[in-house]
Amino acid sequence: MKFNTKLIHGGISQDKTTGAVTVPIYQTSTYAQKELGGTPEFEYSRTGNPTRKAVEDLIRDLEEGVAGFAFASGSAAIHTIFTLFSAGDHIIVGNDVYGGTFRLINTVLTRLGLTFTVVDTRNIAEIKEAIKDNTKAIYMETPTNPLLRITDIKKVSQIAKKNDLLTIVDNTFATPYIQKPLTLGADIVIHSASKYLGGHSDLVAGLVIVNTKELSNQIGYLQNAIGGILGPQDSWLLQRGIKTLAVRMEAHQKNAIAIYQFLKNDSRIAKIYYPGDESAQDFAVVKSQMNGYGGMLSFELRQGLSVKKFVESLQIITLAESLGSVESLVEVPAVMTHGSIPEKIRLQNGISNELIRLSVGIEQKEDLLADLKQGLDAATK
C-alpha cells in the first residue's frame, strides 16, 4: 500500500462488528469478560481501547514501525519515553529541541537522577565526544524548532548503534509524509500530534512509534503503568485528522514555498530559516532524507523594524502558539514558545529576540502574501 492510501486504510479502517466505515468512539472504561482469568483483547481502557488502538495502529503503519502508542499530549509521550531510563543514566540531547522538552529535562528529569548533555546533533564529532559509559540514548528533532536545522538521522543512528544507544527522533515538524526516521535507523519516533497530524488546532495529543517488539513491550508497559493515555474522543478526532495529512501537507508546502520566495525578495527581511533554502549548509541532508520542505519557516526583520507592530498588525495570520494547523499562525519564540529557556542559552542557540516563526496554513496564497506585505508595511512605519 502506498503512503497516501495507508493514510485512509492503514491500521484499523473499519468497524469489525457493524461495518461502519469510520471507527466508532468506544466511550467505555471497562469491558465484560467472558471467563475468569482469561486474556481478553480489551479489559480496561487505560490498558487498551479500540478507538485508541485504531489511531495507534494507523501511526504504526505510517511510520513503518512495530507498534504505536497514543498519549494525552506530546509532552506526556516524551515523559513516558524518558522513563525507559533510570537514575544515573545519561542522555545526549539536541540543542534546539522544543522548549517544553528542555523544561521537562531541566526541571523534572534531572531531579529524578537522569543526566543530560546538550549538543548540536548536526555535528557528529560533538555527539561522539559526549558519549560516556552510562549514555543510553540520543534524543533529537529534525527539522528543529524554531530554527529548522537539519540533522542527518542516518549518521546519528549509525553512531548510536555502534555505542549501543537508542536514537529517539521527535518527528513533529516533518510528519511521516515528509520523513520516516525509523526507516533511516532511528529506534523511537515521537510526535506532538497536536500539530500537523491532528491538523486543525482542535486537539492535544502525543504519539510514540517503536521499531522492535522489545521496545513495544517496554513502552506498552510504561503507557499502562504511568497512564498518560489519549481518550477515545480525541483518538477518534486524531485519526480523522491524519486521514487528510497528504492533501494538507501538499497545500502547506505550496504556500510555504510562495511565502519563502516573497520574503527572500523583500529587503526588509534580514534572515530566513527554511528547509527549502538551497544555500543552507543542511540542504544536502534535506534532499537525502526529506520528501519535501514542510510548512514551517522562521525569519528575522531587518534592524529598526518593529516585530511587535508586525505580528500585531497581521489580519489573517493569527498570533498564537502551536503550529501545523490549517490556519496560519505566527509567534515570537523568545517571548512565547521558548520563553522558558534562559535568555543567555537561547541567544547562544541562535534564537534572537527578533526571530519570528510562521506556521503556514492552507489559506489562499494571495491572501497570506497580502497580509504579510501589509504587516511589513506596518512594521516599517
Ligand X SMILES: *Cc1c(COP(=O)(O)O)cnc(C)c1O
DSSP, res 72: S
Which of 148, 123, 125 is closest to 272 using CA atoms? 148
> Does 95 engage in binding with ligand X (CB under 6 A)?
no
d(CA 2, CA 4): 6
In terms of CB distance, is 98 or 273 closer to ligand X? 98
> Does 142 engage in binding with ligand X (CB under 6 A)?
no
d(CA 329, CA 375): 14
- For this structure, is 120 an active site residue? no
**What 3-state DSSP class applies to 225?**
helix
Of 98, 177, 274, 293, the active-site residue reads 98
Using CB under 6 A as the binding rule, the residues of this chain from 153 to 172 that contact ligand X are 170, 172
Which of 356, 363, 314, 310 is closest to 332 using CA atoms? 356
Selected range binding ligand X among 57-65, 104-112, 190-198, 327-335, rule: CB under 6 A? 190-198
Choice from 142, 151, 175, 194 touching ligand X (CB under 6 A): 194
Structural contact between residues 180 and 154, judged by C-beta atoms closer than 8 angstroms: no
Shortest Å, Cβ 286 to ligand X: 17
Shortest Å, Cβ 96 to ligand X: 10
DSSP, res 204: -
> Does 179 engage in binding with ligand X (CB under 6 A)?
no
Q: Please name the residue that has the C-alpha cell 493514510.
A: 7
Measured CA angle at 320 (ends 371, 196), to 5 deg = 95
Q: How far from chain centre, in Å, is Cα 350?
A: 20
Q: Binders of ligand X: how many residues, by CB under 6 A?
A: 15
In terms of CB distance, is 152 or 170 closer to ligand X? 170
- Which bin fits 175, alpha (ψ -120 to 50), beta or left (φ > 0)? left
Shortest Å, Cβ 239 to ligand X: 16
Residue 148's Cβ-side half-sphere holds a number of Cα atoms within 13 Å equal to: 25
Shortest Å, Cβ 78 to ligand X: 6
> Does 75 engage in binding with ligand X (CB under 6 A)?
yes
Structural contact between residues 175 and 295, judged by C-beta atoms closer than 8 angstroms: no
> Does 199 engage in binding with ligand X (CB under 6 A)?
no
Choice from 90, 122, 149, 195 touching ligand X (CB under 6 A): 195
Choice from 51, 95, 121, 145 touching ligand X (CB under 6 A): 145
Choice from 45, 51, 73, 289 touching ligand X (CB under 6 A): 73
Task: State how beta strands 67-71 and 206-210 pair.
Answer: antiparallel
> Does 100 engage in binding with ligand X (CB under 6 A)?
yes
Q: Which residue is nearest to ligand X (CB)?
A: 74
d(CA 189, CA 81): 10
**AA identity, residue 34:** K
Choice from 141, 187, 354, 371 touching ligand X (CB under 6 A): 141
Using CB under 6 A as the binding rule, the residues of this chain from 304 to 363 that contact ligand X are none
Shortest Å, Cβ 178 to ligand X: 14
> Does 56 engage in binding with ligand X (CB under 6 A)?
no
Choice from 69, 82, 85, 98 touching ligand X (CB under 6 A): 98
Q: Please name the residue that has the C-alpha cell 510514540.
A: 208
- For this structure, is 282 an active site residue? no
List phi, psi (to 5°) of 319. -75, 110
Shortest Å, Cβ 323 to ligand X: 6
Selected range binding ligand X among 32-40, 152-160, 191-199, 371-379, rule: CB under 6 A? 191-199
d(CA 72, CA 80): 11
- For this structure, is 164 an active site residue? no
In terms of CB distance, is 177 or 269 closer to ligand X? 177
CA Rg, the chain, in Å? 21
d(CA 229, CA 347): 36
- For this structure, is 293 an active site residue? no
Q: Which residues are catalytic?
A: 46, 98, 170, 195
Query: What residues line the site for ligand X (CB under 6 A)?
Result: 73-75, 98, 100-101, 141, 145, 170, 172, 192, 194-195, 204, 206
